[in-house]
Amino acid sequence: MTKLKLNNFLLLFSLLFYSVLQAQNINYGTKVDGVSAVIGDEIVIQSEIDRDFEMAKQQGAKIDDKCSFIENFLVQKLILSKAKIDTLISVSNERAAAEADARIANIRSRGSDEQILQAYGFANMAEFRNYVIELQKENTLVAEKQRSIVKDVDASPKEVREFFEQHKNELPDIGEQIEISQIIIYPELTENHKQEIKDRLIKIKKDIEDGDDFKTKASLYSDDPGSASNGGLYENVSRGKFVPEFDAIAFNLQEGEISEPVETEFGFHIIKLDKRLGQNINVRHILIKPVYTQDELNTAKDSLNRIKKEIQSGKITFEEAARRYSKDKFTRFNGGKIINPSTQESRFERSDLPTTQLYAIAGLNKGDFSDIFELEHDRKKALGLIRVDDIIPAHKIDIKTDYSRLSNITKQQLQQEKLYQWVREKLPETYIKLNRDLMNCNFDFNWKKL
């Protein structure tokens, strides 16, 4: 087995988004900057390597040595350099901005804006956002190019069996696993509560029309973490980026016009059209997310309890109830069955479950239902019900009971081999220059071209 691991190839660019608080523990002042390598048109800066190496260690990544980490970094840059000249691969500014805003929202959940700016060395959040957008664009280009390289690779049953026979003594034991299904519903606002929120937005709109600055109001009052610090602004937006209710209003405003309150699945907005750019627009908004009252939460809880009783009495199956009532777009059409995103299986080790769901099923056996519990789902307050579908005891990995997992592992191994082959083919045709320090590394690939 070569020391490079396929699942590490996308680690480097993603490390920025790990944790602001962790990043603060890194002493950036001790770094000596300079060009470590040039891969095609991509320049590798020493500070990039040092930053990501320190973050990887703090994140608990298993790194054999710094040279192997650097080689992963060089592979990233090689893929990126080829992705940028691949006419079949592109990443729109809108997509990069949306993904960056989601990343920034996650970072903000772990630290204040001041901590973020201090940790990453930016003067303001607008500068940081622009940096993350560019980084996200590169990350996506690398991911798309990597997918294009390995897209035709699959694992046949024969290859899975051969892989299992060859590696069964090296493969780890499987801990206890669990399969669960869930139904998610959202509380509903009373009409009086809706009007209270609308009245707040109407008051903010009037203040702006009387001379207050929309950008300042958005920074103070908007609940949208992706745009509040930027004065509520989304730039160069095309139709279809936002939910239909938002689109319908935003694209029909006149420049400078502010809408009446608009309700969407995210809450209530007022929207201002800043500028038309052909078919696209620059738009600002202020979002107020509802904070449900206890009565509204209790009403939703009673509703989900009635559904639970209907399932337990046999009036409706769990699968039918999920399709009919659940608001979880990821599971409702699968009868509520939750799929593990890491393995694409329905099995989870308990430690892989979100904390809220883990607590909800504590002490339950196969076939049991959880109590109704509160959770954050799709960035909104929700109520959930879980059924434990199966509990699989800890065991040694076996091709009969764990075929799906073995198939995924085999496929990853074959994809890794295909990617190695691609790297070896591209190295001779790519301009590469390493500084003297890197020449001491014993790399797997011939970066030195000696």
pLDDT above 70 covers a percentage of the chain that reads 91
What pLDDT is recorded for position 405? Answer: 87
Both 147 and 23 in a single domain?
A: yes
What pLDDT is recorded for position 59? Answer: 64
Comparing 100-109, 116-125, 131-140, 387-396, the range with the smallest average pLDDT is: 100-109
User: Given phi > 0 = left and psi -120 to 50 = alpha, else beta, which region is 60?
Assistant: left
Beta-ladder partners of 233: 284
Comparing 89-98, 209-218, 303-312, the range with the smallest average pLDDT is: 89-98
Supply 33's token pair.
């900057």
Alpha carbon distance 190, 210 (integer Å): 31
Q: In this structure, is residue 300 part of a structural domain?
A: yes
Both 283 and 153 in a single domain?
A: no
pLDDT above 50 (res 12)? no
Q: In this structure, is residue 163 part of a structural domain?
A: no
Supply 231's token pair.
């004065």
Both 37 and 132 in a single domain?
A: yes
> Counting beta carbons within 10 angstroms of the beta carbon of residue 93, is it exposed (0 to 12), middle (13 to 18) or buried (19 or more)?
middle
Q: In this structure, is residue 1 part of a structural domain?
A: no
Confidence of residue 189 (pLDDT cuts 50, 70, 90): very high
pLDDT above 70 (res 403)? yes
Most confident of 17-31, 100-114, 324-338: 324-338
Q: In this structure, is residue 325 part of a structural domain?
A: yes
What residues make up the domain containing 263? 191-288
- CATH number of the domain enclosing 262: 3.10.50.40
- CATH number of the domain enclosing 79: 1.10.4030
Number of domains in the chain: 3
What pLDDT is recorded for position 124? Answer: 86
pLDDT in tens, 267-312: 999 999 999 998 899 999 999 999 999 999 999 999 999 999 999 9
- The more confidently predicted of residues 391 and 12 is 391
Ranges of H-type helices in 267-360: 294-312, 318-325, 355-360
DSSP-derived secondary structure letter, 9: T
Mean pLDDT of 356-373: 95
pLDDT above 70 (res 398)? yes
Supply 206's token pair.
């009037």
Alpha carbon distance 52, 54 (integer Å): 5
Confidence of residue 450 (pLDDT cuts 50, 70, 90): low
Comparing 35-44, 72-81, 221-230, the range with the smallest average pLDDT is: 221-230
Mean pLDDT of 383-389: 97
Q: In this structure, is residue 398 part of a structural domain?
A: no
pLDDT above 70 (res 9)? no
What pLDDT is recorded for position 58? Answer: 67
Both 142 and 181 in a single domain?
A: no
Contact present, 359 and 386 (Cβ < 8 Å):
no
Comparing 26-30, 145-149, 172-176, 351-355, the range with the smallest average pLDDT is: 26-30
Supply 14's token pair.
């993603």
Mean pLDDT for the chain overall: 87
pLDDT above 50 (res 11)? no
Most confident of 44-53, 175-184, 349-358, 433-442: 175-184
> What is the SS3 assignment for 111?
coil
From the list 347, 346, 323, 349, the residue with the least C-alpha distance to 336 is 323
Both 301 and 275 in a single domain?
A: no
Q: In this structure, is residue 417 part of a structural domain?
A: yes
Confidence of residue 192 (pLDDT cuts 50, 70, 90): very high
Both 311 and 179 in a single domain?
A: yes
- The more confidently predicted of residues 46 and 21 is 46
At CA 136, angle to CA 131 and CA 138, rounded to 5? 100
pLDDT in tens, 222-274: 998 878 888 999 988 888 888 999 999 999 999 999 999 999 988 999 999 99
Q: In this structure, is residue 101 part of a structural domain?
A: yes
pLDDT in tens, 408-431: 899 999 999 999 999 999 999 999
| Sheet (strand 432-434) strand order | 42-45, 35-39, 432-434
What pLDDT is recorded for position 51? Answer: 75
Both 105 and 223 in a single domain?
A: no
Mean pLDDT of 156-166: 95
pLDDT above 90 (res 97)? no
What pLDDT is recorded for position 17? Answer: 46
Query: Looking at 288, 310, 327, which one is the last position of a domain?
Result: 288
Confidence of residue 449 (pLDDT cuts 50, 70, 90): low
